[in-house]
Amino acid sequence: MTDDIDGTSEAATDAGRLWGGRFASGPDEAAWALGVSTGFDRHLWRQDLSGSAAHTHELHRIGVLDTDERDAMLDALGRCAELFASGAFPFLATDEDVHGAIERWLVEELGPLGGKLRAGRSRNDQIAGDLRLWCRDACDELVALIGELQQAFVEQADVHLGWHAPGYTHLQRGQPVLLSHHLLAYVWMLDRDAGRLRDARERLDESTLGSGALAGQTLGLDPEAYAAHLGMARTSPNSIDAVASRDFALELLAACAILAVTLSRLGEEIVLWATSEFGFVRVGDAFSTGSSIMPQKRNPDVAELVRGKTGRVIGDLVGLLTTMKALPLAYDRDLQEDKEPVFDAVATLRLVLPAITGTVASLRFDRDRLAAASVGGFALATDLAEELVGRGVPFREAHEIVGEVVRVAEERGVDLDGLEAEALAGIHPALDAAVATRLDPQQAIDRRDAVNGTATVSVRRQLELARAAAAANTG
């Protein structure tokens, strides 16, 4: 039941099935229900019809179809596409999968001519090709959606250039940064996410048609002609690999899972920054929700859902990895399980990306709270230690000295700039009045003016690179 059997009996054709010639009875109801895939593989109609059009041309080239037959077939495939596009394609309960449904419909439309299309091909090479084509489009679409989100970050970073924010490690205040520097970090994370999708796309852009069930075919079909017809970059060099491999789907899912994790971290930061405790940001009304019982509530549900959806995208990847891990070559029916996780992950990200893009664009930052937090917690202690290094003190010693400064300040309930000159000089002679000038956050930020730094001049430069990166993805 799991093999493609060439030669279809009258009875099987009547039942609309692709196989059955060798069986005395039809399939058990439960077995059929388990195997039917039209509920999800119908999403591949466009790709399946493109493959069939390419196959029609090849069958004409080798003389299996004459010119009239070719034209009638192409015409029928076009009408079939219209039915799918309008949601009117008439699936039957006896259709096992989208490939069988289309062939059954062609036979109804064209009579025996419809039955000629299967020559030299198998659902094994069809499905491997269909899914690759689908994944290729999905990569393009996701990259463009990532570009929109990057754009939203670039705009926020541009508008807020110059605003201070706390930079964290261990979620404890570490050093002051420009808010724009923090926002632009997401642009680069997202850029690698887009890069992974581009890489996956490049590798999967390979035609599998002409592989037959697994060993190729005897009719003289040219595998490279399919690649040309379908606009694919290459032809798979090995028919067994072509029908058995799904690492392209795993790669797309891995890229989706990593992207989802990026978005989840972003969702978490929005949730955190929007709390009364942080109070750094307010999410726009259109991306916030109220509570059914607490009238005062303003909840960042979109950011939470983006974080929450990550679980299922990771699950999609882990699910297919698990399906694949022990499959012998070449095609196994287990491979039918490749589609739903791929569709689900991509559909999830299609929902998530525009919603989080709108959320980011809607953010209203609180300049005062951000600035106050950026200097709290002795955030300039590293600057003070580095100032001492500039004066010849070994960093190990400088670290100790500034540690003591922090201890004294903490005892007195002040920040570093609250200590008088005598108190500082009393801790170490290198701590003269001039070091006090180092305790200004703007200076601290602007001294970090290397290419990767948070200085205004560096971030301004970075902003232009980020703008170009976003534009390259939005296309």
Catalytic residues: 170, 291
Q: How far is the CB of 139 from ligand ARG (least distance, A)?
A: 20
- Taking CB under 6 A as the binding criterion, the range among 66-74, 331-339, 364-372, 392-400 that sits at the site for ligand ARG is 331-339
- In this structure, what token pair is assigned to residue 57? 């041309």
135 CA to centre of own chain: 12
Is 214 or 281 the residue whose CB approaches ligand ARG more closely? 214
Q: By CB under 6 A, which span of 105-113, 122-130, 153-161, 222-230 interacts with ligand ARG?
A: 122-130
Told to check if 239 binds ligand ARG by CB under 6 A, we report: no
**For 160-177, where are the alpha helices, taking DSSP H only?**
none
String marking each residue 396-425 x if it binds ligand ARG according to CB under 6 A: ------------------------------
Task: Output phi, psi for 28, to 5 deg.
Answer: -60, 150
Q: Taking CB under 6 A as the criterion, which residues in 178-237 touch ligand ARG?
A: none
β-sheet bridge partners, residue 67:
none
Burial of 113 (0-12, 13-18, 19+ CB in 10 A): middle
From candidates 95, 97, 251, 316, binder to ligand ARG by CB under 6 A: 97
Question: Which residue from 192, 333, 350, 391 is in contact with ligand ARG, where contact means CB under 6 A?
Answer: 333
By C-beta, is 153 or 331 nearer to ligand ARG? Answer: 331
Shortest approach of ligand ARG to residue 52 CB, angstroms? 14
Binding-site member from 175, 235, 245, 336 for ligand ARG (CB under 6 A): 336
Q: Please give the DSSP secondary-structure letter assigned to residue 89.
A: -
Q: How many CB atoms lie within 10 A of CB 180?
A: 26
Tell me how far, at minimum, the Cβ of 123 lies from ligand ARG, in Å: 4
Tell whether residue 249 is a contact of ligand ARG (CB under 6 A).
no
Task: State the nearest-atom distance from the C-beta of 48 to ligand ARG, in Å.
Answer: 10
CB atoms within 10 A of CB 150: 29
101 binds ligand ARG (CB under 6 A): no
* Interface with ligand ARG: number of residues (CB under 6 A): 13
Collapsing DSSP states into helix, strand and coil, what is residue 164? Answer: strand
Measure the CA–CA gap between 271 and 405, rounded to whole angstroms: 35
Shortest spacing between CB 180 and ligand ARG, in angstroms: 48
Residue 282 pairs in a beta bridge with: 364
Q: List the one residue from 123, 182, 309, 438 that touches ligand ARG (CB under 6 A).
A: 123
45-61 vs 98-110: helix axis angle to the nearest 10?
Answer: 50
The piece of 25-33, 189-197, 283-291, 327-335 that touches ligand ARG (CB under 6 A) is 327-335
Distances (CA, A) of 111 to 20, 105, 107, 463: 19, 10, 5, 62
* Residue 83 exposure: Cα atoms within 13 Å on the Cβ side: 18
What single letter denotes the amino acid at residue 97?
D
In whole angstroms, give the CA distance from residue 179 to residue 370.
8
Q: Does residue 52 interact with ligand ARG by CB under 6 A?
A: no
What is the closest distance, in whole angstroms, from the C-beta atom of residue 343 to ligand ARG in the complex?
Answer: 12
104 is a site residue for ligand ARG (CB under 6 A): no
**Position 116, amino acid:** K
E strands, 273-343, are 281-282
Give the residue with the Cβ less far from ligand ARG, 41 or 206.
41
The nearest distance, CB 331 to ligand ARG, in angstroms, is 6
In terms of CB distance, is 54 or 165 closer to ligand ARG? 54
* Closest distance of CB 10 from ligand ARG, Å: 21
Q: Which of 166, 44, 176, 69 is nearest to 119 (CA)?
A: 69
Q: Find the shortest distance in angstroms from Cβ 342 to ligand ARG.
A: 11
Tokens standing for 23? 């069986």
Nearer to ligand ARG, 48 or 387 (CB): 48
HSE-up (13 A, CA, CB side) for residue 71: 2
- Name every residue whose Cβ is closer than 8 Å to that of residue 199 and which is 6 or more positions away in sequence: 251, 255
Nearest alpha carbon to residue 431 among 421, 439, 416: 421
In angstroms, what CA-CA distances link 222 with 57, 125, 210, 269, 309? 11, 14, 7, 53, 43
Among residues 8, 16, 20, 37, the one that binds ligand ARG under rule CB under 6 A: 37
Backbone angles phi, psi at 299, to 5 degrees: -105, 140
Task: Rule CB under 6 A: choose which of 47, 50, 52, 124 binds ligand ARG.
Answer: 124
Q: Verify binding: residue 118, ligand ARG, rule CB under 6 A.
A: no
If the CB atoms of residues 280 and 331 are measured against ligand ARG, the closer one turns out to be 331
Residues that bind ligand ARG (CB under 6 A): 2-4, 37, 41, 97, 123-124, 127, 331, 333, 335-336
